[in-house]
A and B are shown apart, each in its own frame.
Chain A
Amino acid sequence: MLRQAADKVMTGGLAVEAIDLVKDFGATRAVDGVSLAVPAGSIYGLLGPNGAGKTTILRILLGIIDPSSGTRYVLGHRQPLDAAPEIGYLPEERGLYPAMQAREAIAFMGALRGVPLGEGRRRADELLRQHGLGEWAKQPIRTLSKGMAQTVQLLGSIVHRPRLIVLDEPFAGLDAINQGRLEELIRREARAGATIIFSTHVIAHAERLCERVAIIASGKVVFDGSVAEARGRLRPIVRLSTRETDGPWRNAIPSSARREGDEWVFELPEGGPEPLLKALIDGQAGIETLAIERPGLHDAFVAIAGNKAAAAMAEEKPQ
Chain B
Amino acid sequence: MMRLLRSAYVIGRRDFSATVLSKAFLFFLLGPVFPLLLGGILGGITANVTSKAEQPVVAIVSSPTEFSRLASAREGLVDAMGESAVVRLVHYAPDRDSRAQQRSLLASRRPPFRAVLTGGLAQPHLTGAVGPEDPISAQMNLILADARAQEPQSMSLALTKTASDRGSEAQDREQTGQIGQMLLFFLTVLLSGMVMSQLIEEKSNKIIEVIAAAMPIDALFIGKLFAMLAASILGIVVWIGAGALLIQMMSHGGLRTLPAPAIGWPGFLALGVVYFAMNYLLLGAVFLTIGAQASTVREVQTLSMPVTFAQVVLLGFAITANASPNSTEAIAAAVFPLSSPLVMLGRAALEPDWWPHLAAIAWQTLWVTLILRVGARMFRKTVLKSGPRGKWWRRTAKASSILEPLS
Check if B91 is an interface residue, CB within 8 A of chain A.
no
Instruction: Give the CA-CA distance A89 to B211 in the complex, in Å.
Output: 10
Contact call B18/A97, Cβ cutoff below 8 A: yes
- Nearest Cβ on chain B to A70's Cβ, whole angstroms: 10
- The answer to whether A109 touches B210, judged by C-beta atoms less than 8 angstroms apart, is yes
Known: A81-B216, A84-B215. A93 touches B389 (CB 8 A): no
Sample of 9 A–B contacts (CB below 8 Å): A65-B380, A66-B388, A68-B387, A95-B209, A95-B210, A96-B207, A97-B201, A97-B207, A98-B205
B-facing residues in A77-116 (Cβ within 8 Å) = 80-81, 84, 87, 89, 91, 93-100, 108-109, 111-114
Question: How distant is B403 from chain A, measured CB to nearest CB, in Å?
Answer: 11
B388:A96 contact, CB within 8 angstroms: no
Task: Add 17 more A-B contacts to A69-B388, A117-B13 (CB < 8 A).
Answer: A24-B389, A62-B213, A64-B212, A64-B384, A64-B386, A65-B384, A65-B385, A68-B387, A68-B388, A68-B390, A81-B215, A84-B213, A89-B210, A89-B214, A93-B209, A95-B206, A157-B210
Identity of the chain A residue whose Cβ is nearest the Cβ of B212 in the assembled complex? A64
Q: Is the C-beta of A53 less than 8 angstroms from some C-beta in chain B?
A: no
Q: A81-B216, A99-B18 are in contact. Are A65 and B10 (CB under 8 A)?
A: no
Q: CA separation between A94 and B206, bound complex, in Å?
A: 6
B residues touching A (Cβ–Cβ < 8 Å)? Answer: 6-7, 10, 13-14, 18, 22, 201-202, 205-216, 380, 384-390
Given contacts A81-B215, A112-B215, contact A64 B389 (CB under 8 A): no
Taking the nearest CB of chain A, how far is it from the CB of B197, in angstroms? 15
Interface residues on A, range: 35 or more
CB of B216 within 8 A of CB of A25, answer no
> In the assembled complex, which residues on chain B have CB atoms less than 8 Å from the CB atom of A99?
18, 22
Residue pair A91, B214 in contact (C-beta under 8 Å) = no
- Among all A-B residue pairs, the 6 with the closest Cβ atoms: A95-B206, A65-B386, A68-B389, A91-B209, A112-B214, A93-B206
State A81–B4 Cα separation when bound (angstroms): 11
Chain A residues closer than 8 Å to B207, beta-carbon distance: 95-97
Question: Chain A: which residue is nearest B21 at the CB level?
Answer: A99
Number of A-B contacts (CB under 8 A): 81
**Is A45 in the interface zone, CB < 8 Å from B?**
no
Which A residues touch B13, using CB under 8 A? Answer: 117
Give min CB distance, A207 to chain B, whole Å.
27
| Bound form: Cα–Cα A170–B209 in Å | 15
Nearest chain B CB to A115's CB is how many angstroms away?
A: 10
Chain B residues, Cβ within 8 Å of A236:
none
Which residues of A from 43 to 86 have beta carbons under 8 Å from B?
Answer: 59, 62-69, 80-81, 84
- Cα–Cα distance between A62 and B202 once the two chains are bound (Å): 18
Interface residues of A (CB under 8 A from B): 22, 24-25, 59, 62-69, 80-81, 84, 87, 89, 91, 93-100, 108-109, 111-114, 117, 156-157
Q: Is the CB of A87 within 8 A of B213?
A: yes
Q: Give the residue of B14, B22, B206, B388 whose beta carbon is less than 8 angstroms from that of A67.
A: B388
* Bound CA span A89–B202, Å: 16
**Bound CA–CA A66/B385 (angstroms):** 8
B-chain residues with CB within 8 Å of residue A84 when the two chains form the complex: 213-215
Tell me, in angstroms, the Cα distance from A113 to B210 when the chains sit together.
10
Chain A nearest CB, measured from B397 CB (Å): 14
A91 touches B210 (CB 8 A): yes
CA distance A111 to B206 in the complex (A): 18
Which B residue sits closest to A82, measured CB to CB?
A: B3
Query: Do A66 and B213 touch across chains, with their CB atoms under 8 A apart?
Result: no
Task: Check if B206 sits within 8 Å of A89, measured CB to CB.
Answer: no
Residues of B within 8 A of A96 (CB): 205, 207
Q: In the complex, which residues of chain B have a beta carbon less than 8 angstroms from the beta carbon of A24?
A: 389
A100 to B210, CA, bound (A): 16
In the assembled complex, which residues on chain A have CB atoms less than 8 Å from the CB atom of B209?
59, 64, 89, 91, 93, 95
A41 to chain B, nearest CB (A): 21
**Distance between Cα atoms of A25 and B387 in the complex (Å):** 10
Q: Counting chain A CB atoms within 10 Å of each CB, which of B6, B22, B206 scores highest?
A: B206
Across-interface contacts of A59 in B (CB, < 8 A):
209, 213
Contact call B384/A69, Cβ cutoff below 8 A: no
Residues in A neighbouring B387, C-beta threshold 8 A:
65-66, 68
A64 and B208 alpha carbons, distance in the complex (Å): 10
| CB-based contact A112/B211 at 8 Å | yes
Cα separation A95 to B206 with both chains bound (whole Å)? 5
Cα of A299 to Cα of B78 in the assembled complex, Å: 102
Chain A residue at minimum C-beta to C-beta distance from B206: A95
Contact A112 B210 (CB under 8 A): yes
A69 to B215, CA, bound (A): 22
> Considering only CB atoms, which chain B residue lies closest to A112 in the complex?
B214
Q: Do the beta carbons of A112 and B10 come within 8 Å of each other? A: yes
Report chain B residues within 8 Å CB of A97. Answer: 14, 18, 201, 205, 207
A309 CB to nearest B CB, Å: 24
| Contact residues in A for B211 (Cβ distance below 8 Å) | 112
Once bound together, how far apart are the Cα atoms of A59 and B18, in whole Å?
Answer: 28
